[in-house]
Every structure is written in C-alpha cells, then in structure tokens.
C-alpha cells in the first residue's frame, strides 16, 4: 500500500495537527528496536478482551491489531509517533486506530517477538487473517491454521477479436505471474493452462474451436487471471473447443501429466570454466515462468530417456538471465563425462530441446514467514537459492530479515555469479551476508576453506545452534542444495545442532 506523505493525519482532518512523528531519544531508532526487541515468549491461542484490558499502563501495555494481541511495553519508547499516541491503544483492540494512521506499517513483522496470542472476540465482521495467524501455537505447539486449498472457478467470454478465459482464485495468497504457465501448440491447436496454487495446480485444456494469433494474460485484483486469446478470424465461437482429458482438474503438482514442449537454444553465456547460462526461447504462444524454488526438466529430442532437472536463474539477480515468460535461462554445469550435460553442450544455437512445465513443491510461504534464512549451497546448488535471495532482498525487503548464504565451491574459478551476489551483499549490508568456502583453494585465498562439517557450521553461523538462538521455529528457514551427499550431510549436521526438522528444507530431486 502506498503512503502519501502529504495526506492529512486524522487529527489534522479535525483541525488539530498533533499526530506527527516525534523526535525519539537516542538509541530508539528502528535498527535499535530490531537489535533490542525482547525475546519471544510462548504464544497463546486465545486472549479475552477482559484480560487485554488489564494491561493498559506504560509499564505493562498490551494492544491488539488485526486480531493479534501484542505486548508493546518494550516498544512504546521506540514508537515513532510517540508514547501518547500508542498509549491510546493500550488495553484495547487498536486496529482501527492503527489503520487510521499507518495501515502500511508491517506490524506483524516489527512486533513478531511481542505476540502474546490471538484475541478471542466474537466480531460481526472479521478482519482478514494476518500472516502471523497462520502459525500461532496452541499449548506451546505450533499448529497450522492455513485454510484448505480451494479449487479456482473458471468462466469464459468473447468479443469480436478475443476469447477470454477467466480463472478466479479462491485462496488467500499473493498471485504471482510465475504461477501461470500457458502452452498453445500451433500444430494441434490445443491450449493448456496451468495455474499453480501452493502444492496444487489447476489445469485447463481445450482443443480450440478456432485459430488464434496470440496468447497473453493479466492478473487483476490479485484474484482473476484473464487469459486473452486473439482470434485469427472475427467470427463468434460457439464454444471454446473440445475439453481435453483432465480439463478443470485440481491436483497435486507431482500428479500433473508430464507435458514436454519444444523450446530453442537462443544464447549460451560462459560463467566459469565449466558452467554456462543456457537461454531457451519458447515457441510463440508458450508462456512459462517458474515459481521460486521450483524447477523444470529438460531433455534432448533424440534421447528422451535422459532427462534432468534445472532451476531457472532470476533476472533480478543477474542481468545476464533472460527469464521473462517467453525465454528461460538455466545455469548449468557441464561435466565432460556427464551423461546429459556432455550432450547438452553440443546443442547449437537455434536447436530444439524439450522442456517440462514447472515442477517441485517448494512453498514460498516458508520464505515469507521467516525472519532468519540460512542458505547452504554447493556448486550449482546455488540456483534455487537465487530465487529466495531475489524474493527477500529485491522484491520484499524487510529491514528485520537476515539472510545468510554459505556458498561451497572447489576453487576460486568455480564460484558462479560471485560479482552479482557481492553486489547484493553491498547493497543490503545489514540483511545479506555471504561466506564463501573453498575445498581446494589456491594459496592466495584468505577466506574459509574445507568442506561442510559441524565445526564449520558452528564457526560461520553460531546463532544456528539452537541453544544460541532466540527465534521460534516458524521464524527460521534453513535450505540446503548441492550434490546429494552434500545436501544429506547438511541436514544431518543441522539436526545434530538441534535445529527442528520443520525449519530445514533440502532441495532434492
Ligand atoms: C531439483 C534439482 C535442480 C537442479 N538444478 C540444477 C541447476 O540449476 N544447474 C545444474 O547444473 N544442475 C542442477 N541439478 C543437477 C542436474 O539435474 C544434473 O544432475 C547435472 O546436470 C548432472 O547431469 P549429468 O547427467 O550431465 O551428469 P552425471 O552423469 O550425473 O555426472 C555428474 C558427475 O558425477 C560423476 N558421477 C556420476 N555417477 C557417479 C558415480 N556413480 N560415482 C561417482 N561419480 C559419479 C560424473 O563423473 C560427473 O562428474 C539439479 C538437480 C535437481 C535434483
Ligand atoms: C494503537 C495506536 C497507535 C497510534 C494512535 C499510532 C499513531 C502514530 C502516529 C500519529 C504516527 C506518526 C505519523 C506520521 O508521522 O505520519 C505513527 C508513526 C508510526 N507508528 Fe504508530 N500508532 C499506533 C500504534 C503503532 C504500533 C502498534 C506500531 C507497531 C509497529 C506502530 C508503528 C509506527 C511506525 C513504524 C511509525 C512510523 C511510520 C512511518 O514513518 O511511515 N504504531 N504512529
């Protein structure tokens, strides 16, 4: 939500211009609050209005915003609007007051460690669920209150020039462009639409009644996907076409039919001595982006039994990536003796390969909820991490979020996208830290050396050791990706450090 700096405060609207930011005492900046915020105490499932009302003094101040009760005693001195303002909400449901002044303030994150629990109140009209509600604990245990997945609605209409397909999402989620894949085949005149909704995918498939020139889509109000099929001829269609099998199905992503579509090598850029960015251009009327943390499979038309997964590189991390829906850029390490990559390296510009629709089960909600994210990547295991880095730093920058990348490689010459990553670390010095670890470094390397081990993890990220950590499980995410032995060992090490399994996400096939 955008905030107009010139807008009048509610008080000034009433002719009393008192509601302004106040000068705070030294040591009371936002960064100071992040450093000094109290440690989180166990959350409760239900706090009555009566109990809330008892905590209404500056020495013991609770208030509720959007159905969550916060203990703001420690925060009062850091409140940019001053003590008097925030104390107006003491002991009450302050949602209205809060929204009157600053609905854009991310209270869920800023006061994450101050949550007392959920406000129990029978309200006529419920506020929309705050993200923090999704993982409130009951009796000390974390329960997920996330709503069950709802199947989207489908409808269509047409005018002289277009047929429009509408998919309406019935789910509390941010509808991102990469959740929509559309493949139209000119040869068969079939259109296949895949809408990814968390772990599931809604599928539409038709053999179209008429010929089309182009396909496009827009997302409206974070709810409707409007797919526009441009008609070749201006005649009215009696129906969209013949439904393909599984039309309107809503299944787990893993259960999707393994569609492969043709795509063409457009560009190959060398990154290191053995890794390349391969950019593939999709056929006209094929739109594909890959959700963060997910991948596609590729295969060569003349050897369809050899198929391998790869994770696209986000454009925002390196300008050398061309991922934009019509092209997909993959970062691939070529092994001279690799069964697949040795053959892929012989593919020429303009040659055809086959690509799958997006696959994988990574749920972006894990990233959105976490305030501390640690990424262990080895070699090309960096690729799924890039999407997470892009999302946290570039798209959804939160001042309190800490992102840590520990990047394992053999030598200095194997470090992929080093400069691009360093640029981000310089841009976000308080939020993003990278540690490079080399297993066969040259004598001039003065960074970390070795392979992943319990000691190395303790040394680089001591706060991960649970005894040193003041974060709750749902505030942490630890991802591992690399060759299988690396990923397995990282998970074992984290478990030995008492990290709860629910915080660990290993990327594997
Ligand atoms: C979800 C997912 C995403 C991925 N994303 C990417 C990505 O973005 N980029 C990327 O480059 N890779 C990625 N990979 C890995 C990729 O899918 C391939 O496994 C990789 O490209 C190697 O394929 P290959 O067939 O050429 O090599 P392989 O034939 O598998 O050989 C690879 C290396 O292992 C050695 N090797 C093979 N078998 C053995 C054995 N039995 N004992 C000892 N050594 C052996 C080979 O000599 C060679 O050096 C991903 C994997 C997964 C599961
Ligand atoms: C409940 C009653 C509250 C009232 C009446 C209130 C009022 C105000 C006022 C008047 C300002 C100054 C606005 C300006 O300069 O434009 C302000 C700023 C601010 N308040 Fe509150 N506040 C309340 C609760 C909270 C809470 C619970 C938080 C916790 C996150 C919070 C966080 C902030 C922040 C971050 C700013 C600075 C906003 C900015 O710069 O955009 N406030 N508040």
Give the pLDDT score at 108.
84
Give the pLDDT score at 22.
84
Ligand closest to Cα of 105 equals 2
Ligand 2 contact via 86 beta carbon (within 6 Å): yes
In angstroms, what is the span from residue 133 Cα to ligand 1's centroid?
Answer: 40
Which residue's C-alpha comes closest to atom 10 of ligand 1? 332
Question: Which of 134-138, 173-177, 441-445 is the least confident region?
Answer: 134-138
More confident residue, 41 or 36: 36
Quote the percentage of the chain above a pLDDT of 70: 89
Give the pLDDT score at 121.
54
Which of 55, 79, 112 has most ligand 2 atoms within 8 Å of its beta carbon, as the pocket-test mutant?
Answer: 79
Q: How confident is the model at residue 12 (pLDDT cuts 50, 70, 90)?
A: very low
Q: How confident is the model at residue 171 (pLDDT cuts 50, 70, 90)?
A: confident
Give the pLDDT score at 468.
60
Ligand 2 contact via 173 beta carbon (within 6 Å): no
Ligand closest to Cα of 410 equals 1
Ligand closest to Cα of 382 equals 1
Q: What are phi and psi of 294, to 5 degrees?
A: -110, 175
Which residue's C-alpha comes closest to atom 37 of ligand 2? 80
More confident residue, 37 or 19: 37
Q: What are phi and psi of 171, to 5 degrees?
A: -145, 140
- Long-range contacts of 429-433, Cβ-Cβ distance < 8 Å, separation of 24 or more: 430/31, 430/399, 431/392, 431/393, 431/397, 431/399, 431/401, 431/402, 431/403, 432/389, 432/392, 432/393, 432/403, 432/404, 432/405, 433/402, 433/403, 433/404, 433/405
pLDDT tens, residue by residue, 69-128? 999 999 999 999 999 999 999 999 999 899 888 888 888 888 988 988 878 754 323 333
Strand intervals (E) in 26-104:
44-48, 56-57, 60-65, 68-71
Quick one: average pLDDT of 334-346? 96
Question: Which of 136-145, 187-196, 233-242 is the least confident region?
Answer: 136-145
In angstroms, what is the span from residue 333 Cα to ligand 1's centroid?
Answer: 8
DSSP calls for 368-424: HH-SEEEEEEEGGGHHHHHHHHIIIIIIS--TT-EEEEEEEESSGGG-TTHHHHHHH
Give the pLDDT score at 289.
96
pLDDT at 225 over 90: yes
Cβ 51 vs Cβ 60: under 8 Å = no
In angstroms, what is the span from residue 81 Cα to ligand 2's centroid?
Answer: 5
Three-state SS for 91-151 is CCECHHHHHHHCCCCCHHHHCHHHEEEEEECCCCCCCCCCHHHHHCEECCEECCCCCCCCC
Question: Which of 20-24, 291-295, 504-508 is the least confident region?
Answer: 20-24
Ligand 1 contact via 506 beta carbon (within 6 Å): no
Question: What domains, with CATH codes, occur in the chain?
Answer: 10-142 (3.10.120.10), 153-255 (2.60.40.790), 260-356 (2.40.30.10), 365-506 (3.40.50.80)
Which residues have CB under 8 Å from 381's CB, separation 6+?
480, 481, 482, 483, 486, 487, 507
Give the pLDDT score at 426.
96
In angstroms, what is the span from residue 184 Cα to ligand 2's centroid?
Answer: 50
């Amino acid at each position: 939500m955008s905030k107009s700096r010139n807008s009048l405060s509610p008080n000034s609207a009433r002719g009393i211009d008192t509601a302004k930011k106040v000068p705070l005492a030294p040591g009371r900046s936002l960064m100071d609050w992040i450093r000094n915020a109290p440690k989180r105490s166990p959350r409760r499932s239900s706090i009555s209005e009566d109990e809330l009302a008892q905590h209404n003094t500056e020495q013991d101040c609770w208030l509720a915003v959007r159905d969550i009760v916060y203990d703001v005693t420690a925060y009062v001195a850091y409140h940019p609007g001053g003590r008097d303002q925030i104390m107006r909400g003491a002991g009450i449901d302050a949602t209205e007051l809060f929204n009157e002044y600053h609905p854009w303030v991310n209270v869920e994150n800023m006061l994450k460690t101050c949550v007392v629990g959920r406000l129990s109140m029978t309200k006529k009209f419920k506020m929309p669920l705050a993200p923090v509600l999704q993982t409130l604990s009951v009796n000390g245990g974390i329960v997920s209150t996330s709503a069950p997945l709802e199947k989207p609605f489908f409808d269509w209409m047409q005018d002289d020039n277009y047929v429009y397909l509408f998919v309406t999402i019935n789910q509390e989620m941010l509808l991102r462009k990469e959740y929509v894949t559309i493949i139209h085949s000119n040869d068969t005149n079939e259109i296949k639409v895949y809408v990814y909704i968390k772990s599931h995918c809604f599928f539409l498939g038709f053999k179209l009644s008429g010929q089309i020139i182009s396909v496009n889509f827009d997302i409206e109000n974070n709810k409707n996907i409007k797919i526009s099929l441009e008609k070749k001829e201006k005649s009215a269609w009696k129906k969209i076409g013949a439904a393909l099998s599984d039309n309107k199905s809503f299944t787990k992503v893993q259960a999707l039919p393994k569609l492969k579509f043709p795509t063409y090598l457009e560009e190959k850029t060398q990154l290191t001595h053995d890794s390349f960015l391969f950019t593939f251009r999709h056929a006209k009327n094929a739109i594909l982006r890959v959700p963060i943390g997910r991948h596609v499979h590729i295969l060569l038309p003349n050897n369809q039994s050899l198929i391998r997964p790869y994770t696209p590189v986000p454009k925002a991390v390196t300008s050398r990536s061309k991922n934009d829906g019509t092209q997909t850029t993959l970062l691939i390490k070529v092994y001279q003796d690799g069964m697949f990559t040795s053959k892929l390296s012989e593919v020429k510009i303009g040659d055809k390969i086959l690509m799958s629709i997006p696959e994988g089960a990574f749920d972006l909600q894990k990233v959105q909820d976490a305030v501390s994210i640690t990424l262990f990547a080895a070699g090309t295991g960096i690729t799924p991490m890039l999407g997470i880095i892009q999302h946290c730093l570039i798209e959804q920058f939160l001042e309190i979020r800490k992102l840590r990348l520990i990047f394992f490689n053999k030598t200095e010459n194997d470090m992929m996208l080093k400069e691009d990553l360093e640029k981000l670390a310089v841009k976000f010095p308080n939020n993003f830290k990278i540690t490079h670890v080399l297993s066969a470094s040259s004598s001039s390397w003065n960074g970390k050396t070795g392979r992943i081990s319990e000691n190395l993890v303790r040394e680089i990220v001591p706060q991960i050791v649970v005894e040193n950590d003041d974060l709750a499980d749902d505030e942490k995410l630890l991802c591992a990706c690399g060759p299988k032995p690396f990923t397995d060992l990282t998970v074992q090490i984290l478990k030995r450090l008492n990290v709860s399994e629910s915080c660990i996400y290993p990327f594997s096939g």
